[in-house]
Amino acid sequence: MANIVKEMIKAGARIVDVRTEDEFSDEAYPGAVNIPVGVLPNRMKELEPKDKPIVVYCASGARSAMAAKMLKASGWKDVVNAGGLSDMPE
């Protein structure tokens, strides 16, 4: 999975951290935007266009799985749940 995520990021995928603002301010993946999963439905427009690939992550992979499901249900085609921050590529 890490190789897929790494290639997507290299190709320009948007990186979305769906943890809380506090978690994000403590530590985040370089270039990630913070849209907590709880407010994602209200902020999805920020991630358009829907054909741009998205990599989502959180702390363990549970919230990012939920976020990926929401995005796919709203029309995003290329969404990958990278799991937790520690799973993100170097």
Among residues 13, 58, 85, 88, the one annotated as catalytic is 58
What stretch of H or E contains 23?
A: helix 21-26
- Helices H / strands E in the chain, number of each: 4, 4
**70 given a catalytic annotation:** no
Catalytic residue annotation: 58
